[in-house]
Amino acid sequence: MYGVILAGGSGTRFWPTSREQSPKQLQNIVGSGTMLQNTVQRLLPLISIKNFYLATNHQQAVETLRQLNSYGFSPDHLIAEPCNRNTALAIGLMSKVIINKDPDAIMAVFPADHVVTNSENFIKILKKAETLAQKGYLITLGIPPTRPDTGFGYLQQGSEIEDGAYKVEQFVEKPGLPKAEQYLQHGKYFWNSGIFVWKVSTILEELQSYAQNIYSQLDTIASSTQNAKGRYAYLELDETGNKIFSSLPSLSIDYAVMENSSRVVLLPANIGWNDVGTWSSLDDVSEKDPKGNVINGNVLAQDCNNSIIQGQKRLIAVLGLEDIIVVDSPDALLVCTKERSQEVKNLVESLNKNDHLEGKQPSIVKKPWGSYTILDSGPSHLLKRIEVFPGEALSLQSHQHRSEHWTVISGSAEVIRNNETFQLKSTDCVTIPKNTKHRLGNTGSELLIVIEVQFGNLLDEDDISRYEDRYGRI
Amino acid sequence: MYGVILAGGSGTRFWPTSREQSPKQLQNIVGSGTMLQNTVQRLLPLISIKNFYLATNHQQAVETLRQLNSYGFSPDHLIAEPCNRNTALAIGLMSKVIINKDPDAIMAVFPADHVVTNSENFIKILKKAETLAQKGYLITLGIPPTRPDTGFGYLQQGSEIEDGAYKVEQFVEKPGLPKAEQYLQHGKYFWNSGIFVWKVSTILEELQSYAQNIYSQLDTIASSTQNAKGRYAYLELDETGNKIFSSLPSLSIDYAVMENSSRVVLLPANIGWNDVGTWSSLDDVSEKDPKGNVINGNVLAQDCNNSIIQGQKRLIAVLGLEDIIVVDSPDALLVCTKERSQEVKNLVESLNKNDHLEGKQPSIVKKPWGSYTILDSGPSHLLKRIEVFPGEALSLQSHQHRSEHWTVISGSAEVIRNNETFQLKSTDCVTIPKNTKHRLGNTGSELLIVIEVQFGNLLDEDDISRYEDRYGRI
């Protein structure tokens, strides 16, 4: 079986932990590991890591590879889409890529940012789905609802096809509360999980039947894939591929295929599934203290009940809270009521409208070579903590409006400054004047940490001329 | 008239804005200026700055002087007490100091951390009190209550002595709610504001009558005052004075004198007084938005009502809050309900018990030469932003366990390193090895800002040998 992970989350509902540039699946929201890592981890008993494929965007590609590196995920199994065109196109493209290697392949599709607490049952059901897929069915996993949720689409169970597998009577859009309550009572409605299993040839046939405009371009797009420029060998599309991809309609696989096909089969899946859609959903998937609080980080809580307090290093003291959510991050803080946690995404929209960078940009800015964090700023200086991964290096660059002063905290730095190249270690420092070609690299085997002080009257990420770059950013 | 300001606040009820080492009166809690500055400012129409005296402790002395410097406050009018022994002793000592200069002096006593919104009326009432004081009365200002507050002592109005001035029928300790409601209804009970006016000779006579143990030591203690070591010429006690001071009982002036003396006069004072005792009291003294919120700092609020959101530079996004208090600071965050805001001081006690430094130490640590702020830390480094006031300098010092690297952000630094002395300006840097005598000073006319990286396996404020210090810290 092949596993296809769709990792296209937008990062607004778990703000400030997630940001547009650092979405939910790449964060540790529940337990240990990021949601993406947990998604792969729980499937490894069934799907070999070499059979995993993943679709995401350019911005997340390198961080995604880093998170999956230790599992042995193959970089060229990641496709960086030029833009988000929803699941129909992503699944279609992945199907083409996989069928070109294995015409009989069966593939399972998984969102990257859901929780499944009963992995054992999950694997059992996926195996059953595999058997059904062999017979030409499109299997969709339906989750028995545990509350009248109005945030999901529902699948109505139809007649039994074989033991425990059903036709879908109808697909229901997100219902209002009265309907959702009926569905919960009724017992034959299931949440649409977005987890699918099918033969690759089957889904392609159905795309051909019901989404001809998408299907007709898949060959061209698939053959336009190429290795990304630079050190990271994920796949991207060439210019033609990007153009076609971007011109296609944004359709969900449910809308494009599942609601139309007669080959759809519903497998009820009691697997402890949760889409972790809002901060308040941590209530369902996290460990609680005796007063019903979900607390992480450096927190002192007195007389709080049923609250969610997500701290980090900074001290948070909370007193007398009831059904309140507090999420702290180095550069932004969220405090809201649980019942309003659905609206956090609107809050982020407001932030973006009001030019609050914190709406999109995380406090730790990930780069292909590592990351930087702004620690202090003033009218003519900016202080950064820079981390460079072993073997990586920033581009050979210069700045028109700023000089930089680096102090090495730990690790081994190789610094190029004009025609000099020198090695720096902990406690060493160097100054890079304006308009000077320079490069910072990590030649050691440990993380390189550098404190950078920028001086100048215009301190802007865009003030950069790149002469050489390992990651194709010229 | 002389003004005596008692500045002995403990800084726990306005945590995290105030801390033990940086109490409420030194903070900007309401409007512009610190509470101490506002206390002085509103009295200047009546009391010349050269007639102000102030009692505080050693830790706050320099910052207190800095805050009053621009008003022309005389440093040797500040007495740094060796420990807190409540108001009877503080007032007694101040009375001795003042009477030695002016036997006919009239003095008014003010807490340093209260708000008075009707300054004009306040001045009028103080003038009236002055006239009464000339006649040998001890005048206490009573505040007409506006709610059944159980946090204050009350004064019951007795018979009229002269137009608008009354005997005190009785002093009432903090009442329970039913009593407090009766007092509010009754109309002849007033809050005990802690603001007093009297002839210095009168209060000394009464101390002699009712607090003989304190009175008998005042001459010795007053004659033990001396200029503090170092650049700041405030007063402290010599060893003998400290010993006697510390051995005396901790009594309030109310308990020691006012409740016993027959010369006490109550002046009702409708002056917009507020002791700003808890975060929720900001409701009474701050500007509110149309939804009843008190909001300061970088805050995005959606659908919040009657909440208090005190931010700083960091972004705070709040959604759907009702009667919630959020107070942010660089290193600690408080979220609590308004009705529990009285308990913030217990919360701080818990922090102190659990060895959370944030309970006592502010994020910006004030020093006689300026301040430092910790920006980053790791297993073998500590990153600080150091600010040095013009003309000031750290001690000549060395460290056994750490080296330091300084980068000048702005201002003019004079650096001593072993036998060298050199000048550094913005973008310059220098390294100070372990066990090297060094000193950092500001020889310019602007604030000096330096980024310091400390390297070592033991990074501790106590790892310091001082060879020379301008502030008497050797």
User: Domains plus CATH for chain A?
Assistant: 2-274 (3.90.550.10), 279-353 (no CATH), 368-468 (2.60.120.10)
Taking CB atoms and an 8 Å limit, are B336 and A321 in contact across chains? yes
Burial B260-293 (b: 16+ CB within 10 A, else e): ebebbbbbbbebbbbbbbbbbbbbebbeeeeeeb
**Predicted pLDDT at A371:** 96
Minimum distance, in Å, between the CA of residue A318 and any CA atom of chain B: 5
User: How many whole angstroms separate alpha carbon A435 and alpha carbon A451?
Assistant: 20
CB contact under 8 A, A429 and B405: yes
Judge contact between B452 and B406, C-beta under 8 A.
Answer: yes
A351 to chain B: closest CA residue: B300
* pLDDT level of residue A457 (50, 70, 90 thresholds): very high
B264 min Cα distance to partner chain A (Å): 42
Residues 6+ apart with CB under 8 A from B269: B121, B122, B125, B141, B142, B143, B144, B193, B195
Task: Tell me the C-alpha to C-alpha distance, in Å, between residue B340 and each of A458, B279, B344.
Answer: 46, 10, 7
Token couple for A184: 């919960």
Instruction: Report residue A8's pLDDT band, with 50, 70 and 90 as the boundaries.
Output: confident
- Token pair recorded at residue A177: 């509360």
Q: For residue A318, what is the nearest residue in chain B, using CA coordinates? A: B335
Tell whether B358 is within 8 A of chain A (Cβ). Answer: yes
Record: contact B409-A344, CB cut-off 8 A: no
Of A376, A449, A427, whose CA–CA distance to B372 is shortest?
A376
The length of chain B, given as a count of residues: 474
Unique residue bearing structure tokens 């999901």: A152
Integer Cα distance of B10 and A260 in angstroms: 71
Give me the residues of A, 384-403, that contact B with CB < 8 A: 385, 403
Instruction: Dig out the tokens for A190 from the structure.
Output: 């299931």
CA dihedral A152, A158, A161, A166 (to 10 degrees): 20
Q: Residue A14 and residue A24: Cα distance in Å, rounded?
A: 7
Least confident range of A59-63, A90-94, A230-234: A230-234
Helix, strand or coil, per DSSP, at residue A42: coil
Q: How many CA atoms lie within 13 A of B207 on its CB side?
A: 27
C-alpha A183/C-alpha A73 separation (Å) is 40
CA dist., res. A73 & res. A52, Å (int): 7
Give B-chain residues touching A455 at CB under 8 angstroms.
409, 426-427
Residue B47 makes CB contacts below 8 A (sequence gap 6+) with B1, B2, B3, B108
For range B203-231, the mean pLDDT = 96
Give the torsion through C-alpha atoms of A418, A423, A428, A432, to 10 deg. 10
Q: Which residues contact B391 (CB under 8 A, 6 or more apart)?
A: B442, B443
Q: Count Cβ–Cβ pairs < 8 Å, chain A vs chain B.
A: 173
H or E element in which residue B131 lies: helix B119-134
Q: Side-chain half-sphere of B70: how many Cα atoms within 13 Å? A: 6
**pLDDT on residue B180:** 95
Over residues A160-169, mean pLDDT:
95
**Chain A residues with CB inside 8 Å of B453's CB?**
407, 409, 451
3-state secondary structure of A407: strand
The strand order across the sheet containing B396-398 reads B420-424, B413-417, B438-442, B396-398, B465-468
* DSSP string computed for B431-462: EE-TT--EEEEE-SSS-EEEEEEEESS---TT
Question: Any chain A CB within 8 A of the CB of B378?
Answer: yes
pLDDT band at A295 (very low <50, low <70, confident <90, very high): very high
Give the helix/strand (H/E) hosting B240. helix B239-247
| Residue position matching structure tokens 């796949």 | A235
Question: Contact A337/B315, CB-based, under 8 Å?
Answer: no
Contact B335 A314 (CB under 8 A): no
Res B15 pLDDT > 90: yes
**Which element (helix H / strand E) includes B365?**
strand B364-367
CB–CB of A368/A397 below 8 Å?
no
In angstroms, the Cα distances linking A291 to A171, A282, A325, B23, B373 are 39, 15, 14, 33, 36
Task: Tell whether B117 lies on the interface with A, counting CB pairs under 8 A.
Answer: no
pLDDT score of B336: 98
Owner of token pair 């060439």: A238
A347 vs B319: CB contact, 8 Å cut-off? yes
C-alpha B214/C-alpha B192 separation (Å) is 23
Which one is predicted more confidently, A8 or A140? Answer: A140
Q: Is A467 left (phi over 0), alpha (psi -120 to 50) or beta?
A: alpha
What pLDDT is recorded for position B231? 84
- What average pLDDT does chain B have? 96
Nearest to A409 among B302, B347, B381 (CB): B381
Q: Does A449 touch chain B (CB under 8 A)?
A: yes
Residue pair A439/A415 in contact (Cβ under 8 Å)? The answer is: yes
Q: Return the pLDDT at A193.
A: 96
Query: For the residues A311-315, what does the mean pLDDT come to?
Result: 95
pLDDT tens-digit series, residues A114-146 = 999 999 999 999 999 999 999 999 999 999 999
What pTM, to 2 d.p., does this model score?
0.93
Instruction: Please indicate if any CB of chain B lies within 8 Å of the CB of A364.
Output: no
The torsion defined by the Cα of B120, B126, B131 and B134, in degrees rounded to 10, comes to -160
Helical (H) or strand (E) element with A67: helix A58-69
d(CA A78, CA A57): 9
Are A336 and B321 inside 8 Å of each other by CB? yes
The nearest CA of chain B is from the CA of A421 a distance in Å of 21
C-alpha to C-alpha distance for A371 and A387, rounded to whole angstroms: 5
| CB of B464 closer than 8 Å to CB of B410 | no
Of B320, B324, B350, the CB nearest to A340: B320
Share of chain A above pLDDT 70, in %: 100
A9 pLDDT more than 80: no
Q: How confident is the model at residue A107 (pLDDT cuts 50, 70, 90)?
A: very high
CA B20 to CA B8: how far, in whole Å? 10
pLDDT of residue A361: 92
Query: Within an 8 Å CB–CB cutoff, is residue A121 touching chain B?
Result: no
Q: How confident is the model over B367-399, as pLDDT tens digits?
A: 999 999 999 999 999 999 999 999 999 999 999
Q: Which residues on chain B are in Cβ contact (under 8 Å) with A312?
A: none
- Record the tokens describing residue B350, joined without a space: 């818990």
Q: Is the peptide bond before A16 cis (omega within 30 degrees of 0)?
A: yes
**Got the DSSP string for A213-275?**
HHHHHHHHHHHTEEEPSSS---EEE-HHHHHHHHHS----HIIIIITT-S-EEEEE--S-EE-
Contact B410 A381 (CB under 8 A): yes
Looking at A143-152, B125-134, B260-269, which range is the least confident one?
A143-152
Please answer whether residues A411 and A444 qualify as being in contact, where contact means their C-beta atoms are separated by less than 8 angstroms.
yes
Residues 423-442 of A with CB under 8 A from B: 426-427, 429, 431
Longest dimension (CA), chain B: 76
> DSSP code of B51?
G
- At CA B391, angle to CA B388 and CA B397, rounded to 5? 60
Task: Name the amino acid, one letter, at A380.
Answer: S
Q: Within 10 Å of residue B398's Cβ, how many Cβ atoms?
A: 18
Nearest to B195 by CA among B261, B267, B256, B102: B267
For residue B347, give the nearest of A314, A317, A356 by CB distance: A317
Nearest to B351 among A300, A405, A410 (CB): A300
